[in-house]
Amino acid sequence: MIENNPLHTAIRLSQAATKQLQTLGETLTPEQITPQLIAETETLFKQALANLAAALNPPNLDHIPPDVLSQAERLGIPLDDIEVQVAMSSHHLSQIIGVLAEIDNRAENIRRRREYFLVRLPDITIEKLGSRLPVMTAADLQGPTEQTPASVRDALKAKYNLNRLNHKTRSQSSLFEKIKQAKQALEPQEVALDEEDDLPF
């Protein structure tokens, strides 16, 4: 079908845009040329270029998740529009998600959402998708299950002279016992001093 052929559509649109441009230049004075007429002519050329791009490289939206496409439809982005299809297929998924988020956040202030989508999409920064944090499981938090072989432990002890280390453990009870012994050792001296205090001179 000719109507469904993007190349034929591009030719038809470019001819219409050229004719309208000639009309603007030949029959209208500069005062009669309004911004609306310029915008209409520009739209025809953009649609012609989009169809030409689709003829050379048919748009493919398979890389876009269904939820993103549903969000675009919900926000009023026409997915059957050839310009929208070409733009989506030629830009990174993160850019599409980014511009849709902008439209969603500013929905009340954006009236021409299709045009906003097409103009803003190339300006969105490409970002890495997915979580930026490493995925951790319960197994990652567990220590090693295999014990170090005895031969390896013995070799390390011999290498670093760990066998010569004498680890003395001192309990709290033994510490109190030594304090008690020290007090008892001082008691006779204190008694002797008391007896000297009783001397008459």
User: How far apart are alpha carbons 179 and 173 in whole angstroms?
Assistant: 10
Interatomic CA distance for residues 121 and 136, integer angstroms: 34
pLDDT-based confidence at residue 77 (cuts at 50, 70, 90): very high
Q: What percent of the chain has pLDDT over 90?
A: 27
- List CB contacts of 88: < 8 A, sequence separation 6 or more: 59, 61, 64, 96
Contact predicate 100/72, CB 8 Å = yes
* pLDDT confidence of residue 1: 39
8 Å CB contact between 116 and 103: yes
Contact 110, 104 (CB under 8 A): no
Residue with tokens 């980014």: 98
pLDDT at 65 over 90: yes
Type of residue at 13 = L
The per-residue pLDDT for range 18-32, each reduced to its tens digit, is 888 888 888 888 888
Evaluate whether 6 touches 51 at the Cβ level (below 8 Å).
yes
Q: How confident is the model at residue 158 (pLDDT cuts 50, 70, 90)?
A: confident
CA distances from 131 to 95, 100, 157 (A): 17, 19, 44
Average model confidence (pLDDT) across the chain: 80
**Rounded to 10 degrees, what is the CA torsion of 84, 87, 90, 94?**
-100
Q: What phi and psi values does residue 2 have, to the nearest 5 degrees?
A: -70, -40
Tokens of 25: 């230049």
Instruction: Give the whole-angstrom CA distance, residue 90 versus residue 49.
Output: 14
Task: Give which of 135, 151, 71 is closest to 103, Cα–Cα.
Answer: 71
